[in-house]
Amino acid sequence: MEGPTEIAKNKHFGGFNKRYKYQSRTLGCVTTFTIYFPPAAEKKVPILYYLSGLTCTDENVMQKSGIQRSASEKGLAIVSPDTSPRGLNVQGEADNWDFGVGAGFYLNATQEKWKNWRMYDYITKELPEVLKANFSELDTATASITGHSMGGHGALTLYLQNPGMYKSVSAFAPIANPSVVPWGKKAFSGYLGEDKSAWEAYDATCLVKHYMGETTTEILIDQGDTDGFYKEQLQPENFKKAAEAAGVTVNLRIQSGYDHSYYFVSTFIPDHVSHHAKALLS
């Protein structure tokens, strides 16, 4: 596999945002990702993966959240991948903002038409391999994961599906029980078919009921109470209830007056970086 090519570079809080592109074997297309290297990256630094939400790219969190300030202070690298394959010209891929391009849902599609929508394998297998092979500054064996909305769903499910791969997990307004909400039903039926038993492998509320990994690290979730998607699409209380029944501690913080936007994310992202730094640097 040919290594990534740097396509943008900006200094930020003493470190550097660097954006890359390369041909992904998993996705079958050219994809992009962005890394924030903190000043501490003169030596190996741990990684916090950030998974973005519907319609987003790898750039949203880097441009809107201010995550670099906290990452610089704590000495963490931030790795932000794209949210789906792009440029494949699959019929109908851009017909809906919540399905297709920009809406990979961090799963491996089983329906033939969407066979390249394999964001689960990309995030958990290929991307770490690419980082390890090309960036000596990154300690790829020491990683945590977070995300927003669809990306919060991704962070929770990847953490629960891969005990030990990530030291900690957090989420901003995650789609926490997708198999019972409109966004999830639409995505799962399209990518996975109508067998609802297959959906459970990508539903955090279902996964946590059978989680066999380490349970002492608290899961942090922030949710704004004026988020227009909160009640219909997100269902974090369902996840908290299932997690606590399984002995998994969840700190679900309902934030008064906050919505679903990056105004909300940027307000609480220092708390999330601190949450992960505690696990990654201990």
What stretches of the chain show up as alpha helix (H) in DSSP? 60-64, 67-74, 119-121, 127-134, 150-161, 182-192, 196-199, 204-208, 236-245, 262-280
Place of tokens 């279902």: 206
Told to judge if 149 belongs to the known catalytic residues of this protein, a careful annotator would answer yes
- Is 227 assigned a catalytic role? yes
Q: How is 136-187 classified by DSSP, letter by letter?
A: TTEEEEEEEEEEBTHHHHHHHHHHHHSTTT-S-BEEES---SGGGSHHHHHH
For the chain, report the end-to-end CA distance as a whole number of angstroms.
Answer: 34
Q: What angle do CA 162, 168, 172 make, to 5 degrees?
A: 105
Which residue among the candidates 24, 72, 80, 149 is catalytic per the annotation?
Answer: 149
Choose, from 168, 227, 272, 275, the residue flagged as catalytic: 227
Half-sphere exposure of 248 (CA within 13 A, CB side): 26
Which residues are the active-site residues? 149, 227, 260
